[in-house]
Amino acid sequence: MDEKQITDWLREENEQKLETLWRLADETRITHVGNQVHLRGLIEVSNICARRCGYCGISAGNRQIQRYRMTEEEIMDCVQRAVGFGYGTVVMQAGEDYGITRQWMTNIIRRIKAETSLAVTLSLGERSDEDLIAWREAGANRYLIRFETSNRELYDRIHPPLGDKSSDRFAILENLKKLGYEVGSGVMIGIPGQTYEDLARDILAFRELDLDMIGVGPFIPHPETPLGQTLPCAPSDEQVPNTEQMTYKVIALTRLVCPEANIPSTTALASLNKADGRELGLMRGANIVMPNLTPPQYRVMYEIYPNKACINETSEACASCLSMRILNIGRTLGSGQGGRLKRSSR
């Protein structure tokens, strides 16, 4: 698929034609990654962040929230729950929190690898080479960092540099691959100023980067952030809407362009349609879900966008909710770590 074809699908509004897109994506998903839905337990380790991303509710600029960092014992307790629920992976996510030191995280990764057979995924922001090398050596398997948009000008507008450190997430992704991580990335859909052309290029960049995991979700304005206030947008016929429908289109097209990738049906999508957003994502190309393992008292403080799904649930509730949803749509629960199946072009 080329940029023009992707853009045409993104602009398509005819329900019947879209049914064709959903069917093609679902068939491609069955052929390449099968019927299993893999479960990645998400632990939101810390909401402390050094950055000021214009969209993010836990950015350093938000003075309205209480900050926390979980203890090693609290994290290990979540890890044991993940084992109990039968998950194959734990994802440790946090703001860019330099109180999460190289050594502290190294110990935790070592403990998880010694005490369980879980895959370990990290999502800790833009960390130094030394940190990434140490964590990989300690046994971390995967790293997630979204590039958010492939439009450099738009990227810079919503990501103020940290000191003199301006970021190049494409370079970071290449580096992570070189260090031997399975690499995940993705974008937000409907960022103010994001055009259809931008989004089509994002999807082509997924292929270019040969990503193992691709997470996409709608941009949800957070009132305590610069992008939560009204901002100049792209001309209205060019601006991508941050809707549920647009998210399904991007999931489906991503599946067609990257048939073997692991694609989650994300919490941001579920937040727009709590009734059956997760299921529709899974039926239109996705093959992963990320049940939340964060203890309830911290969950409420990890509000990167308002109205986040699962913010008041327990890890037990999310575990049974998700397995029920998966089985109800005729899919099976993944077994094992559920890493990338094939390595075609690397």
Q: Is 318 in the site for ligand FES (CB under 6 A)?
A: yes
Q: Is 136 in the site for ligand 5AD (CB under 6 A)?
A: no
Q: Is 184 in the site for ligand 5AD (CB under 6 A)?
A: no
Sole residue written with tokens 């008041």: 312
Q: Is 133 in the site for ligand FES (CB under 6 A)?
A: no
d(CA 271, CA 267) in angstroms, rounded, equals: 6
Q: Is 313 in the site for ligand FES (CB under 6 A)?
A: yes
DSSP state of 239: B
List the alpha helices (DSSP H) in 86-168: 102-115, 129-138, 152-158
Q: Of the candidates 70, 56, 71, 122, which has an alpha carbon nearest to the alpha carbon of residue 308?
A: 56
Q: Is 183 in the site for ligand FES (CB under 6 A)?
A: no
Q: Is 304 in the site for ligand 5AD (CB under 6 A)?
A: yes
Indicate which of ligand FES, ligand 5AD, none lies near residue 317 (CB less than 5 to 8 Å, by partner kind): ligand FES
d(CA 139, CA 77) in angstroms, rounded, equals: 19
Contacts (Cβ under 8 Å, ≥6 apart) of 287: 29, 33, 34, 36, 37, 38, 262, 263
Sole residue written with tokens 């049906």: 265
In the complex, what is the shortest distance from the CB of residue 37 to ligand FES, in angstroms, rounded to a whole number?
A: 12
Q: Within the chain, what is the greatest distance between any pair of CA atoms?
A: 54
Closer of 42 and 172 to ligand FES (Cβ): 42
In the complex, what is the shortest distance from the CB of residue 181 to ligand FES, in angstroms, rounded to a whole number?
A: 27
Q: Is 219 in the site for ligand 5AD (CB under 6 A)?
A: yes
Kindly determine how many residues on this chain lie close enough to bind ligand FES according to the rule CB under 6 A.
Answer: 8
- Given candidates 146, 177, 201, 207, which one binds ligand 5AD under the rule CB under 6 A? 146
Torsion angles phi and psi, residue 220, rounded to 5:
-120, 115
Q: Is 264 in the site for ligand FES (CB under 6 A)?
A: no
Tally the residues of the chain: 346
Q: Please give the residue ranges that form the binding site for ligand 5AD (CB under 6 A).
A: 55-56, 146, 148, 188, 217, 219-220, 222, 268, 304-305
Q: Please give the residue ranges that form the binding site for ligand FES (CB under 6 A).
A: 291-292, 310, 313, 317-318, 321-322
